[in-house]
Amino acid sequence: MRQRTIAEPYKIKMVEPIRMTTRAERERAIEEAGYNTFLLRSDDVYIDLLTDSGTTAMSDRQWSAMMLGDEAYAGSRSFYRMEAAMREIYGFQHLVPTHQGRAAEHITSQIRIKPGQFVPMNMYFTTTRAHAERAGGVFFNCIVDEANDPWSDFPWKGNIDLAKLQALVDEHGADSIAYLSLAPCVNMAGGQPFSMANIREVSAWAKQYGLAIIFDATRAVENAYFIQQREEGYANRTVKAILREMMGYGEGCTVSSKKDNLVNIGGFLATNDDAFFRKAKEMVVIFEGMPTYGGLAGRDMEALAQGMVEMVEDDYIASRVRQVEYLGNKLIKAGIPIVRPIGGHGVFLDAKGFLAHLPQDEFPAQSLAAALFVDSGVRAMERGIVSAGRDHRTGEHHRPALELVRLTIPRRVYTNLHMDVVAESCQELWETRSAIHGLRMVYEPESLRFFQARFEPLVPVLHG
């Protein structure tokens, strides 16, 4: 039978105009931005693939739910709607809303980590790790080795390596561990999932030692979709049922609602542990607001509740991940080096393979992201030596194995024609790659330098 196209499960009711600029305008814009895509004005960007965080298009149902927001200071009806949706979809008993994900991480870390305790994570996310460390925790990476190899086709690069956890317990004892902080669809590994079999095994292991799993469930729905597609025994289960099973192995979770939950701002903490919930409510009033709004407006909680319902619709999540794969497969077909397998939220160009003529100290990923913007107005993000920062003791750059440019796909925002434009631009650059020059850093902030660092090309630019 002929392979049939499956279109997006929605039609477009409202549009936001975007403008293609001229090459001369883009050359000026990137020069003014110090060759750093974070410093561009979004008005100068044609297709914005900087991040999938908070960049979602909401549905007509979410927008209309916002009009029903109850802005009461305490006991808001919108809170109870969000709580009911969370209970139904994630399956936890208690909900504490927060203004975004890192606030839930802050509260969780402060309550559950004693100074000096290890916090095992499958790779790390910047804010999750920073909050664990601020609470005195010691980051311990328990992800499988395949996660560090961009060429490995292993389908479960987000898996936890139990042998690494066992070795930690054998050496330091289970009391040295605060909890297991496990993330589905690991962002920093390229949006790579763990398998249900792996989580089941880790959960059984953790029980023996009385250790809790707290998920960073920010991208749990995308992970649930990969389980449905790839793992034996799950092909006929709904993403909604798979998500419930996954969350069932945790004692709680923190979530940035700016990803899976299909809203532009928000987050929450959820748990089945009464004592943790009580302490979290005490802390949330100090840092965020009353426990029935936690830094969100009533209308935000309404949009979030509706977003949770929509995110687990099988057609929606399939179309979201398939769009990422659509772009990735076009690049693979063109022979362009990208991280495999294609992840859940973006496509990662391997800048070392792309610009093999540039040494890492000339910032190949930063150069490639700047060149992509100049070619087509597509904004991507550097994830390489600039993002990795310096070793505080030696003053040397960290030189990460992965030197990547991340093309992150916002949810429900762009069509596949936009993806074609991105793919054509990448192909153009691939064919003319020897003309892409390196950069030198002319301004370097002390921490999180990638946000604000400024660069100059190693050869002078000629304005046309």
Ligand X SMILES: *Cc1c(COP(=O)(O)O)cnc(C)c1O
Tell me which residues touch ligand X (CB under 6 A).
53, 100-102, 125, 127-128, 183, 187, 216, 218, 256, 258-259, 267
Given the residues 124, 140, 373, 450, the one annotated as active site: 450
Beta-bridge partners for 391: none
User: What DSSP string describes 296-344?
Assistant: --HHHHHHHHHHHHHHT-HHHHHHHHHHHHHHHHHHHHTT--B-SS--S
Given the residues 81, 102, 340, 383, the one annotated as active site: 383
Q: How far is the CB of 91 from ligand X (least distance, A)?
A: 20
Nearer to ligand X, 40 or 186 (CB): 186
Given the residues 46, 125, 276, 414, the one annotated as active site: 125
Q: How far is the CB of 100 from ligand X (least distance, A)?
A: 3
Q: How far is the CB of 189 from ligand X (least distance, A)?
A: 11
User: Is 249 an active-site residue?
Assistant: no
User: Is 128 an active-site residue?
Assistant: no
Q: How far is the CB of 451 from ligand X (least distance, A)?
A: 13
Cα of 103 vs its chain's centroid, Å: 16
Q: Choose among 302, 248, 308, 250: nearest CA to 276.
A: 250
Nearer to ligand X, 346 or 384 (CB): 346
Q: How far is the CB of 241 from ligand X (least distance, A)?
A: 23
C-alpha count within 13 angstroms, C-beta hemisphere, residue 105: 27
- CA dist 424 and 430 (Å) reads 10
* Contact present, 97 and 301 (Cβ < 8 Å): yes
User: Is 81 an active-site residue?
Assistant: no
Nearer to ligand X, 288 or 362 (CB): 288
User: Is 383 an active-site residue?
Assistant: yes
Given the residues 52, 161, 216, 260, the one annotated as active site: 216
Q: How far is the CB of 109 from ligand X (least distance, A)?
A: 12
Helices then strands, counting H and E runs in the chain, come out as 16, 14
Q: How far is the CB of 362 from ligand X (least distance, A)?
A: 29
User: Is 216 an active-site residue?
Assistant: yes
Nearer to ligand X, 98 or 367 (CB): 98
User: Is 125 an active-site residue?
Assistant: yes
Given the residues 112, 259, 340, 379, the one annotated as active site: 259
Nearer to ligand X, 259 or 383 (CB): 259
Sign of the CA dihedral running 21, 26, 27, 32: positive
Between helix 101-112 and helix 126-134 the angle, nearest 10°, is 30
Q: Choose among 161, 143, 311, 321: nearest CA to 226.
A: 321
Residue whose token pair is 């139904």: 88
Bridge-based pairing state of the strands 346-350 and 404-408: antiparallel
User: Is 145 an active-site residue?
Assistant: no
Structure tokens at 142: 């328990």
Nearer to ligand X, 100 or 366 (CB): 100
Given the residues 23, 73, 145, 399, the one annotated as active site: 73
Structure tokens at 364: 């190949």
Give the CB-nearest residue to ligand X: 101
Nearer to ligand X, 59 or 187 (CB): 187
- CA dist 352 and 401 (Å) reads 9
- CA dist 238 and 224 (Å) reads 9
Nearer to ligand X, 217 or 358 (CB): 217
Q: How far is the CB of 191 from ligand X (least distance, A)?
A: 10
Beta-bridge partners for 252: 214, 271
Bridge-based pairing state of the strands 267-271 and 439-443: unpaired
The alpha helices in 377-406, defined as continuous H runs, are 385-388
Given the residues 126, 415, 440, 443, the one annotated as active site: 126
Active site residues: 73, 125-126, 216, 259, 383, 450
